[in-house]
């Protein structure tokens, strides 16, 4: 059976790309189709993979200005010729699910979320656009993409959602059911230690909906040490907000991030995440999490045992949660065991089982030993 993998973009490495890596482990011979790629920003194994880019890759400045080319992306994925494949496994938070297949093919989409900037975050996204000309044109582009997104959602045979949170969005926007399989966490990369230094930690892209500005304001007021790792277009604004107890380290390697996880007092998650890998990476180190009590965090953090929640995006609510955190004891080994439920081996087995069941439902015969990871 011939298998193809489809992914939105390969120009940054995050949770979605870790999911794709697991798919590449399950199907090592499968090529990867993507709209654009910048493999200099990706781990070595992606540079060794069979990557097929869309025509957008050949447009000047596409690697740096790709967001201004959104209107081309539906056409780009529809141009992928996948007729030679029996199984197509897409990893999508935007366009990858919109590929064209025929009735003899099986298309399973692992959906990280329906594209948020045309649905629930549309108005917030528009507020963040500073270019006046682009801001006038963009609503017409996003309207067309929103319509295409809803129509193309019916091209998928089976949806897998990365959380119950995302499953509800798929139901609302696409009117489709989905099976929840939580994404993989590289738990074995982390180990709880007795080391602890006096700082709280954020590991995140620096973009407005992550609400890092709120965390900075609270830690400025409480005069508590905060370390922020990550980069993004909101960096300059956040630097101006940061007081003397806030350290912004920018982009760091996985090795450096692991060291900071191991020594922090707690991890802070202030935005509403689809699922959220970083809180689980912190918990794999035995570290508790202070999280906004909405979205994916409700599926990864256990109140009072692996962390605490705050329930409003306000200085008072987060400050109260930080103060409450200091009154509690957290068992690092319990936190680690909780995180281990989300390990990569579990993910690969659940994906394998789902694919086998979908193939059986379609009427094909498949040997489990060929497609099951274990």
Report the C-alpha gap between 159 and 177 in whole angstroms.
Answer: 7
Question: Is residue 248 located within the same domain as residue 307?
Answer: yes
- CATH number, residue 169: 3.40.50
Residues 171 and 253 in one domain: no
Enumerate residues 6+ apart whose C-beta is below 8 A from 200.
219, 224, 225, 226, 227, 264, 265, 266, 267, 268, 290, 322
Whether 176 and 266 map to the same domain: the answer is no
pLDDT value, residue 130: 82
For residues 82 and 214, state if they share a domain. no
Task: Return the structure tokens found at 177.
Answer: 């059911």
Structural domain harbouring 285: 188-340
CA atoms within 13 A on the CB side of 9: 21
- Residue 206 tokens read as 């620096």
C-beta separation of 276 from 298 below 8 A: no
DSSP states along 255-271: HHHHHHHHH-SEEEE-S
CATH number at residue 323: 3.40.50.2000
Shared-domain flag, residues 207 and 334: yes
Same domain, 114 and 235: no
- Looking at the structure, tell me whether residues 324 and 290 fall in a common domain: yes
Sign of CA dihedral 207, 209, 210, 213: positive
209 and 148 inside one domain = no
Please report the pLDDT score of residue 233 as a whole number.
Answer: 85
- Evaluate whether 46 touches 39 at the Cβ level (below 8 Å): yes
d(CA 131, CA 229): 27
Report the number of distinct structural domains present in the chain. 2
Q: Tell me: do 84 and 192 sit in the same domain.
A: no
129 and 26 in a common domain: yes
Quote the CA–CA distance of 8 and 302 in Å, as a whole number. 32
Q: Where does residue 81 rank: exposed (0-12), middle (13-18), buried (19+ CB within 10 A)?
A: exposed
Same domain, 91 and 230: no
* 29, two tokens: 């011979």
CA–CA gap between residue 305 and residue 114 (Å, rounded): 31
Whether residue 258 sits in one domain with residue 294: yes
Query: How does pLDDT run along the chain (374 residues), one tens digit per residue?
Result: 899 999 999 988 888 999 999 999 999 999 999 999 999 889 899 999 999 999 999 999 888 888 789 899 999 999 999 999 999 999 999 999 999 999 999 999 999 999 998 998 899 888 888 888 888 999 999 999 999 999 999 999 999 999 999 999 999 999 999 999 999 999 988 988 878 899 999 999 898 889 999 999 999 999 999 999 998 889 999 999 999 999 999 989 889 999 999 999 999 999 999 898 999 999 999 999 999 999 999 999 999 999 999 999 999 999 999 999 999 999 999 999 999 999 999 999 999 999 999 999 987 544 444 544 44
pLDDT at 364: 53
C-alpha distances out from residue 227 to 212, 223, 263, 309, Å: 11, 13, 11, 20
Tokens coding 248:
């912004």
Crossing angle of the two packed helices 212-222 and 315-325, in degrees rounded to 10: 60
């Amino acid at each position: 059976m011939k298998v193809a993998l489809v992914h939105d973009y390969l120009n940054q490495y995050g949770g979605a790309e870790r999911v794709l890596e697991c798919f590449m482990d399950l199907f090592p011979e499968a090529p990867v189709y993507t709209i654009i790629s910048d493999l200099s920003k990706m781990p070595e194994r992606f540079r060794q993979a069979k990557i097929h880019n869309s025509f957008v890759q050949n447009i000047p400045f596409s690697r740096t200005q790709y967001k201004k080319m959104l209107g081309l992306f539906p056409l780009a994925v529809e141009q992928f010729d996948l007729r030679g494949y029996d199984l197509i496994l897409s990893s999508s938070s935007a366009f990858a699910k919109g590929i064209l297949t025929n009735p003899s093919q099986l298309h399973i989409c692992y959906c990280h979320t329906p594209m948020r900037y045309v649905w629930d975050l549309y108005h917030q996204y528009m507020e963040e656009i500073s270019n006046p000309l682009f801001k006038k044109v963009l609503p017409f582009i996003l309207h067309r993409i929103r319509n295409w997104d809803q129509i193309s959602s019916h091209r998928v045979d089976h949806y897998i959602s990365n959380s119950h949170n995302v499953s509800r969005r798929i139901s609302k926007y696409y009117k489709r059911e989905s099976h929840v399989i939580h994404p993989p966490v590289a738990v074995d990369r982390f180990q709880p230690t007795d080391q602890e230094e006096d700082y709280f930690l954020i590991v995140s892209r620096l973009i407005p909906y992550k609400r890092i500005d709120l965390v900075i304001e609270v830690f400025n007021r409480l005069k508590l040490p905060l370390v922020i790792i990550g980069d993004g277009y909101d960096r300059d604004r956040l630097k101006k907000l940061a007081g003397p107890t806030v350290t912004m380290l920018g982009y760091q390697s996985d090795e450096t991030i692991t060291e900071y996880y191991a020594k922090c007092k707690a991890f802070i998650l202030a935005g509403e995440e689809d699922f959220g890998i970083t809180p689980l990476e912190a918990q794999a180190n035995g570290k508790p999490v202070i999280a906004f009590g909405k979205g994916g965090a409700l599926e990864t953090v256990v109140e009072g045992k692996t962390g605490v929640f705050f329930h409003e995006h306000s200085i008072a609510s987060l400050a109260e949660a930080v103060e409450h955190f200091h009154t509690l004891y957290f068992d690092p080994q319990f936190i680690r065991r909780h995180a281990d439920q989300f390990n990569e081996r579990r993910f690969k087995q659940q994906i394998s089982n789902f694919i086998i069941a979908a193939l059986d439902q379609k009427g094909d015969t498949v040997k489990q030993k060929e497609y099951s990871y274990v």
